[in-house]
Amino acid sequence: MKYLIIAIVLLVFSGCGHGLDVNSNVNSNESANSVGSTNHSANKTINNDLENAKQFLSNGDYNKAIDAANNVIASDPNSAEAYSIRGFARALNGEIEQGLVDTKTSYQLDPNNVANYYNMAMVYKLAGQLEESKQWFEKVLTKDPNNTWSIYGIATIYADQGDDDKALEWLAKAIKIDSSVKVVAAEQDHFERFHENSVFKSLVLP
């Protein structure tokens, strides 16, 4: 897109001189239109690849998510979103160190991408670095205080760390925002040992 802007600026300045060659100006306009069309097509392809990467990630097809993100990065090496998606997909695919590298790269490219905060939290969690994971979930909550799955993520970390009171406190917060959390908490290993806990039962079980 920046090349299209430069082309338009050059055209504007080219019309300021005297004795302008009309045919040359027409050719320049055609060239700019060609650049614009090419850039539009490239951007459309990048956006399609990004959407595909998200969909593949959501469907659990991590290899395809990585491939789609690779396509975006090949066309746009500064795509923070593509690095974030690829990092999460890599970590879920067992490539945790590479996942950390990608999500950190995404953060360097765009420190304000809140979705990447969540992805970083999850990658650190997969790496077993629970305190780092919790810090990134907390960063999400500074931007989006009612982000259900970051609140739930913190609950699971406290559960894994053996802090039952904190785990149940954060679980209750998540359920208050979205009752569908009950189904997830009832099925995940994080809370398996809580199944006979009276507070857990009152929160999760019908």
- Tokens 């894994």 belong to 160
**Rounded CA gap, 163 and 154, in Å?**
11
Q: Closest by alpha carbon to 153, among 183, 179, 118, 187? A: 118
Using DSSP, how many helices (H) and how many strands (E) does the chain show?
A: 11, 0
**Rounded CA gap, 84 and 27, in Å?**
41
pLDDT, residue 1, reads 31
3-class DSSP state for residue 39? helix
Q: Closest by alpha carbon to 154, among 104, 127, 190? A: 190
Could you list the pLDDT tens digit for every one of the 206 residues in the chain?
322 222 222 222 223 333 333 344 444 444 445 445 556 666 888 889 999 999 999 999 999 999 999 999 999 999 999 999 999 999 999 999 999 999 999 999 999 999 999 999 999 999 999 999 999 999 999 999 999 999 999 999 999 999 999 999 999 999 999 999 999 999 999 999 999 999 999 999 87
Q: Closest by alpha carbon to 122, among 111, 137, 139? A: 137
113's enclosing H/E stretch is none
